[in-house]
Amino acid sequence: MRYFPLTPDDRVEMLGALGLSSTEDLFADIPAAIRIRQPFSIPALFEPEVVERLESLAAKNLNTKSTSSFLGGGIYRHYVPAAIKHLLMRAEFYTAYTPYQAEVSQGTLQAVFEYQTMICLLTGMEVANASMYDGATAVAEASLMARSITGRKRVLVAGSLHPQYRATLRTYLHLQGLELVEVPWDERGALDLSRVCAEEAACLIVQSPNFFGLVEEMSAAGQWIHAAGGIFVHAFAEAASLGLLPPSASFDADIACGEGQSLGMPPSYGGPGLGIFAAKEKYVRRMPGRLIGEALDADGQRAFTMVLATREQHIRREKATSNICSNQALCALNALIYLSLLGEEGFRQVAEQCYHKAHYLAERLQAVAGLKPTFAAPFFNEVAFTIPGSPQALNAYLLKHGILGGIALDRDYPGLANSWLVAATEMNSKEQIDALVARVAQWRGGLA
Amino acid sequence: MSELIFEKSKHGCTGCSLTHLDVPQAEIDIPTRAGIGLPTLSEPEVVRHFTNLSRKNFALDIGFYPLGSCTMKYNPKVNEDMAALPGFAQLHPYQPDSSAQGALELLWELDRALCEITGMDRFTLQPAAGAHGELTGLFLIARYFQEKGQKRDIVLVPDSAHGTNPASAALAGCQVVVVRSDSRGGVDLEDLKAKLSDRVMALMLTNPNTLGLFDENILTIAELVHAVGGLLYYDGANLEGTCGYARPGDMGFDVVHVNLHKTFSTPHGGGGPGSGPVGVKEMLEPFLPVPVVTKKADGAFALDWERPQTIGMMRSFLGNFLVAVKAYTYILSLGGTGLRQMTADAVLNANYLLSLVKGTYELPYDRICKHEFVLSTHKFGQWGLKVTDVAKRLLDKGFHAPTIAFPLIVDGALMVEPTETESKGTLESFAKALLEIEEEARTHPELLKEAPRHTPVRRIDDVAANRSPVLRWK
Amino acid sequence: MNPTDRIYTKDHEWSKIEGNTARVGLTAYAQEHLGDIVFVDLPPVGKEVKQGELLLVVESVKAASDVYSPLSGKVVEVNEALASNPEKINQDAFGEGWVVVLEIADPGEAANLLSAADYDTLLASQH
């Protein structure tokens, strides 16, 4: 096997040095009743065969690069500058472990410190951790942190928070004895606080732009929950929106968290992405996850090291703020390099292009007879349309023509049976958008 | 001097080029922000910044990285190429199942392979890491007892366990009760018996445990836990130690997680992303998180979301899919025979390395180990030295240090896991370094105290960094 | 030798009775054992604790240690200086490194604590 450096002679010699005659002797302490004597049935392939097998599996999939896609819902296709993969694939980064030995991990440590700073800049928050698994678990951790800060057990969450984030929240909170209360949206698709009560709530979690792409009035929501002593959580599923929309701190969010896949990562069938988590500094000791701080070495040189580790599982065990150990470190590096390359101007341009493309898409779709926006509130780069017919049927029609259409909202929102959610990014050309609209019009024509 | 990217920023530069907007500009009717404060640099400057940062890291492709319980084995290059194929990396999680048949087939096949390897009936690939897998497993077990109408809230955890075990149990709303280790490093059966009751939901066990020792009483332990109606959870961090020689499913475990980023060679990436698939015995299958990959009668694959007894979702979408692609690539590259050889070599390497340093270093539990072993540096105390000093001196000698100060039951623990991807020569040079360090400790302790000297930075003042933490650049 | 003007717990805390209050701190042995203290998670003033219950947490770089209340009572004062200078515990455990003042709920509980001589003996037996 090409990955194993021991030669047959080595093995004999090493066993001999141990006073053993066979490899089997190394496993003599395994009870005979459960000892396996034969290899598994999985066949071993030569490298060219492995490549062929994987390539043939990959070829069975329709990928968003070779087609035109208007899918969003928390995962977006943005342009990834070529330099990123070359830097990420430096073995010094990707074949290193968690930076436990700081003196030989300064590359990772400084990068995470820079990443933490980038996230603070994007959100306006004071502290950010070294990453969570994804947007959904970041939101779940935020609710647990709010419980820990307030000692309260009611979690208010916008119904327009990503359905899978809400599903994750339900799973996480269930056994903690926390009550999850969903806040409805009004006819414009915006958060409707008039029908819930803020009393005794640990937090209010609002996604903006919300799952329907709509930009919420965050300041009012923040004031509302703060008046009752709760924690205000800004969630996001499209990090590119942070290039244009006001930062979380501007509406006094206590925690900002969400999905960072948009920051230079491919869609990857949903993972790995990046869980972003930031908060006000006064809550830092209640925060989950790893934190890197600036330090000095014995010679007085600037250095970086893990700090406040007493919050973490390897020290605090059952009293830790979270059980997280492995995180998404390489994805955080990916986001850092992306933001470094795009810079102030570039990142803003991405956000603006997303906005303009999605608004062009919406305007063209509105011109198709029978289609109308489901909601009236302003949106960023994603918009829901109520269509005359089944979104699944429309998607199937589009797929036949090589287009990945939108998300049918009915599985997660039975009340929005004919609603179809489409997203646009800077990657969708005018030509693609026009082609989509033409196909939708054709489909609509076929219905009549 | 380590300048930050922000300190290198200068006006008027950009490192990217976006195409011109080809649609009309719309009126912006949402509130917008002023500047963000992102740095502005040209592409070569960004590339040089990160290339130079990378040079300050020790990594597996540079040298020996014997971190115990972390399984720092070689990360095959072909895995990375396969995960980067557009047919995997450019898939969108909301695209119809019919357009992602290859991806679903891969997940299905990986599930089958993991079942064979661990002796379980079904896996979920949603958990993003080992600790996430633990939480998933405990949620599954809790739901199982809820369905049976039993109220159980105690999770037993050995004193040698990974910190994630008690942390996950607490997150699952359970009370943690610690079980002692016996003089052979295994679970103390008398203590276990004393702590078993009908309130016990599960015993979480790593086997081989964090001392690298296989618990020979595993069948008795399983019997005891099952006798009070509890379930057995397998922390797969150490699957490397028995893979191909014994399966957790046969040992009596009801739920397992495996770490694809350990046993199955996917890179650690400086801390992640990992993947912690969870496998269960049949009675727990209805509770698995959604969606579950199914194979239909016509051979087509689909995602099943309609599972009334599911615990729900553990995170978004299908987990760290690209990590699964890498692990599947690895499993195909090794096959059944390769997986067995992998474990045999890992265990042989560990025992051989142990034999070279035993005697000079104290071995608290002197038995044949599995893929890792734990030494005590207790005696270094007489020279005013701690395990950290030994670790830092190893850095000077060109090696990454083993895991230190864990497990907690060994004073000044050095936990060494060489893996199967190291040569006999590497093991011998590492052993030589450890022996030299012991001699230096006796004769020139300052060499350890003042280590490291030959690293990008010297010993870091963690106390000051923690007293007034600086967590971002301003 | 530990100061004789106070009483001790087996968990290495001292209490100095001052009328109906007790000033509480960690012993020199405790601070040495903990190493460089980097953070003290002080309880809020007004918090009521029972003897033996969690009072506060002190942290070094790689450990967090629970400190249990030597007596039942109400926290009436905390050593605010520790928020910015936790090292005071290392520097002067029996003086400026005090942690809280408790209003004593049950003076009788003091009998459960050790005299300085008994505490010295305890330490000697642990070496």
Place of tokens 């016990």: B200
Same domain flag for B156 and B215: yes
> Cβ distance B400 to B323 under 8 Å?
no
Contacts of A34 in chain B (CB under 8 A): 218-219, 246-247, 250-251
User: According to the model, what pLDDT value does residue B79 have?
Assistant: 98
Q: Which of residues 178-197 of A touch B (CB under 8 A)?
A: none
Write down the ipTM of this complex. 0.98
Exposed, middle or buried by CB within 10 Å (0-12, 13-18, 19+), for B194?
Answer: exposed
Give the residue-averaged pLDDT of B104-127: 98
Flag whether residue B472 sits within 8 Å of chain A, measured between CB atoms.
Answer: yes
Strand partners, C56: C67
Beta-carbon count within 10 A of A115 CB:
29
| C64 to chain A: closest CA residue | A310
Phi then psi for B36, rounded to 5 degrees? -100, -40
> In the structure encoding, which two tokens stand for residue B440, read together?
């230096």
**Is residue B73 in a domain?**
no
- Give the 3-state secondary structure of residue B69: coil
Same domain flag for B216 and B93: yes
Residue contact C39–B467, C-beta within 8 A: yes
Contacts of A270 in chain B (CB under 8 A): 92-93, 316-319, 321
Strand partners, A201: A154
| Alpha-carbon gap: A381 to the closest alpha carbon of chain B (Å) | 11
Q: Please name the chains neighbouring A, where neighbouring means 3+ C-beta pairs under 8 angstroms.
A: B, C
User: According to the model, what pLDDT value does residue B230 have?
Assistant: 98
Give the residue-averaged pLDDT of A408-415: 96
User: According to the model, what pLDDT value does residue B72 have?
Assistant: 97
- Condensed to tens digits (0 to 9), the pLDDT of residues B134-175 reads 999 999 999 999 999 999 999 999 999 999 999 999 999 999
| Alpha-carbon gap: C57 to the closest alpha carbon of chain B (Å) | 15
> Cβ distance A319 to A329 under 8 Å?
no
The H or E element that residue B429 is part of is: helix B424-443
Same domain flag for B203 and B251: yes
| B207 to chain A: closest CA residue | A30
Q: What percent of chain A has pLDDT over 70?
A: 100
The CATH number covering residue B315 comes to 3.40.640.10
**Is residue B470 in a domain?**
no
- Condensed to tens digits (0 to 9), the pLDDT of residues B262-278 reads 999 999 999 999 999 99
Compute the CA torsion angle B11, B15, B19, B25 (nearest 10 deg).
-40
Same domain flag for B309 and B389: no
Flag whether residue C41 sits within 8 Å of chain A, measured between CB atoms.
Answer: yes
Cα dihedral across residues A117, A121, A125, A126: positive or negative:
positive
Q: For residue B18, name the pLDDT band (cuts at 50, 70, 90).
A: confident
Of B303, B332, B361, which residue sits at a domain end? Answer: B332
- What pairing do the DSSP bridges indicate for beta strands B278-280 and B122-124? antiparallel
Give the residue-averaged pLDDT of A361-366: 98
Side-chain half-sphere CA neighbours of B345 within 13 A: 24
Q: For residue A447, name the pLDDT band (cuts at 50, 70, 90).
A: confident
- Condensed to tens digits (0 to 9), the pLDDT of residues B302-350 reads 999 999 999 999 999 999 999 999 999 999 999 999 999 999 999 999 9
Q: Which of B315, B317, B343 to mutate to test the interface with A (most CBs of A within 10 A)?
A: B315
Same domain flag for B410 and B442: yes
Q: Which of residues 49-88 of C touch B (CB under 8 A)?
A: 59, 61-62, 86-87
Q: For residue B132, name the pLDDT band (cuts at 50, 70, 90).
A: very high
Residue contact B164–A318, C-beta within 8 A: no
Of B332, B350, B378, which residue sits at a domain end? Answer: B332
Q: Which of A341, A335, A95 is nearest to B49 (CA)?
A: A341
Q: What percent of chain B has pLDDT over 70?
A: 100
Give the residue-averaged pLDDT of B46-54: 98
> Cβ distance A130 to A289 under 8 Å?
yes
Contacts of C62 in chain B (CB under 8 A): 405
| Alpha-carbon gap: C41 to the closest alpha carbon of chain A (Å) | 10
Domains of chain C listed by start with CATH number: 7-119 (2.40.50.100)
> Cβ distance A193 to A221 under 8 Å?
yes
Option in B26, B132, B465 nearest A359 (CB): B26
Of B297, B316, B332, which residue sits at a domain end? Answer: B332
Distance CA B173, CA B461 (A): 37
> In the structure encoding, which two tokens stand for residue C51, read together?
């003897």
Residue contact C59–A310, C-beta within 8 A: yes
- Condensed to tens digits (0 to 9), the pLDDT of residues B52-67 reads 999 999 999 999 999 9
- What pairing do the DSSP bridges indicate for beta strands A179-183 and A154-158? parallel
Cα-to-chain-centroid distance, residue A418: 27
> Cβ distance A354 to A424 under 8 Å?
yes
Same domain flag for B297 and B210: yes
Contacts of A328 (CB under 8 A, 6+ apart): A131, A132, A133, A134, A272, A273, A274, A275, B128, B272, B273
The Cα-based distances of A113 to A119, A333, A420, B466 in angstroms read 10, 10, 40, 15
Residue contact B89–A290, C-beta within 8 A: no
Distance CA A157, CA A231 (A): 12
**Is residue B468 in a domain?**
no
**Is residue B315 in a domain?**
yes
Distance CA B217, CA B112 (A): 29
Q: Which of A319, A290, A292, A313 is nearest to A303 (CA)?
A: A292
User: According to the model, what pLDDT value does residue A315 have?
Assistant: 87
- DSSP letter at A166 equals H
Phi then psi for B8, rounded to 5 degrees? -95, -10
Give the residue-averaged pLDDT of B361-369: 95
Flag whether residue C45 sits within 8 Å of chain A, measured between CB atoms.
Answer: no
Same domain flag for B352 and B273: no
Q: ω into residue A266 within 30 of 0, thus cis?
A: no
| Alpha-carbon gap: B412 to the closest alpha carbon of chain A (Å) | 15
Compute the CA torsion angle A386, A388, A393, A394 (nearest 10 deg).
-70
Distance CA C41, CA B195 (A): 32
Distance CA A339, CA A128 (A): 16
Q: Please name the chains neighbouring B, where neighbouring means 3+ C-beta pairs under 8 angstroms.
A: A, C
Residue contact C87–B466, C-beta within 8 A: no
Q: Which of B432, B353, B352 is nearest to A19 (CA)?
A: B352
Beta-carbon count within 10 A of B62 CB:
15
User: According to the model, what pLDDT value does residue A448 have?
Assistant: 59
Same domain flag for B356 and B383: yes
Residues in chain C: 127
> Cβ distance B352 to A14 under 8 Å?
yes
| A317 to chain C: closest CA residue | C64
| C40 to chain B: closest CA residue | B467
Phi then psi for A229, rounded to 5 degrees? 80, 15
Option in B57, B82, B276 nearest A104 (CB): B57
Exposed, middle or buried by CB within 10 Å (0-12, 13-18, 19+), for A237?
Answer: buried
Say whether pLDDT at B13 is over 90. Answer: no
**Is residue B6 in a domain?**
no
Same domain flag for B143 and B186: yes
Contacts of A319 in chain C (CB under 8 A): 64
Give the residue-averaged pLDDT of B457-462: 97
> Cβ distance C53 to C69 under 8 Å?
yes
Same domain flag for B424 and B276: no
Instruction: Print burial letters for B157-183: b (CB count within 10 Å at least 16), e (below 16).
Output: bbebbbbbbbbbbbbbbbebbbbebbe
Flag whether residue B299 sits within 8 Å of chain A, measured between CB atoms.
Answer: no
Say whether pLDDT at A175 is over 90. Answer: no
Average pLDDT, chain A: 97
User: According to the model, what pLDDT value does residue B1 have?
Assistant: 60
Contacts of B77 (CB under 8 A, 6+ apart): none
Residue contact A168–B314, C-beta within 8 A: yes
Contacts of C39 in chain A (CB under 8 A): 285, 310
Option in A285, A310, A319 nearest C63 (CB): A310
Place of tokens 């052993």: B431
Range of the domain at B368: 338-456
Q: Which of A42, A45, A86, A112 to mutate to test the interface with B (most CBs of B within 10 A)?
A: A42
**Is residue B33 in a domain?**
no
Same domain flag for B308 and B376: no
Number of domains in chain B: 2
Domains of chain A listed by start with CATH number: 82-338 (3.40.640.10), 344-447 (3.90.1150.10)
Segments of A32-178 assigned E as strands: 68-69, 127-128, 154-158
Segments of A168-268 assigned E as strands: 179-183, 201-207, 231-236, 255-259
Q: Which of A148, A286, A310 to mutate to test the interface with C (most CBs of C within 10 A)?
A: A310
> Cβ distance B189 to B152 under 8 Å?
no
| Alpha-carbon gap: C91 to the closest alpha carbon of chain B (Å) | 14
- Give the 3-state secondary structure of residue A155: strand
Phi then psi for A183, rounded to 5 degrees? -95, 125
Give the residue-averaged pLDDT of A47-67: 97
Q: Which amino acid is at B131?
A: A
- Give the 3-state secondary structure of residue B461: coil
Segments of B180-230 assigned E as strands: 200-205
Q: Which of residues 32-51 of C touch B (CB under 8 A)?
A: 36, 38-39
Contacts of C38 in chain B (CB under 8 A): 463, 466-467
Say whether pLDDT at B206 is over 70. Answer: yes
- Give the 3-state secondary structure of residue A349: helix
Q: Which of B403, B411, B461, B463 to mutate to test the interface with C (most CBs of C within 10 A)?
A: B463
User: According to the model, what pLDDT value does residue A75 have?
Assistant: 98
> Cβ distance A270 to B316 under 8 Å?
yes
Residue contact C38–B405, C-beta within 8 A: no
Residue contact B467–C62, C-beta within 8 A: no
Q: For residue A371, name the pLDDT band (cuts at 50, 70, 90).
A: very high
| B472 to chain A: closest CA residue | A117
Distance CA A380, CA B25 (A): 13
Give the residue-averaged pLDDT of A181-197: 97
Same domain flag for B393 and B289: no
Distance CA C13, CA C28 (A): 9
Beta-carbon count within 10 A of A139 CB:
31
- Give the 3-state secondary structure of residue B65: coil
Say whether pLDDT at A137 is over 90. Answer: yes
Distance CA B394, CA B413 (A): 15
User: According to the model, what pLDDT value does residue C127 have?
Assistant: 62
Flag whether residue C124 sits within 8 Å of chain B, measured between CB atoms.
Answer: no
**Is residue B447 in a domain?**
yes
Angle between helices A8-17 and B424-443 (to 10 degrees): 40
Residue contact A285–C63, C-beta within 8 A: no
| Three state DSSP letters for C48-97 | EECCCCEEEEEECCCCEEEEECCCCEEEEEECCHHHHCCCHHHHCCCCCC
Option in B85, B90, B400 nearest A64 (CB): B90
> Cβ distance A287 to A254 under 8 Å?
no
Distance CA B351, CA B208 (A): 14
Flag whether residue B47 sits within 8 Å of chain A, measured between CB atoms.
Answer: yes
Q: Please name the chains neighbouring C, where neighbouring means 3+ C-beta pairs under 8 angstroms.
A: A, B
- Give the 3-state secondary structure of residue A163: helix
Q: Which of residues 151-190 of B touch A (CB under 8 A)?
A: 162-164, 166-174, 176
Place of tokens 């009751």: B197
Strand partners, A240: none
The CATH number covering residue B392 comes to 3.90.1150.10
Distance CA A384, CA A211 (A): 10
Option in B57, B89, B314 nearest A105 (CB): B57
User: According to the model, what pLDDT value does residue A111 have?
Assistant: 98
C-alpha angle B295-B301-B303 in degrees, rounded to nearest 5: 95
**Is residue B37 in a domain?**
no
| Alpha-carbon gap: A103 to the closest alpha carbon of chain C (Å) | 16
> In the structure encoding, which two tokens stand for residue B42, read together?
């040209």
Flag whether residue C65 sits within 8 Å of chain A, measured between CB atoms.
Answer: no
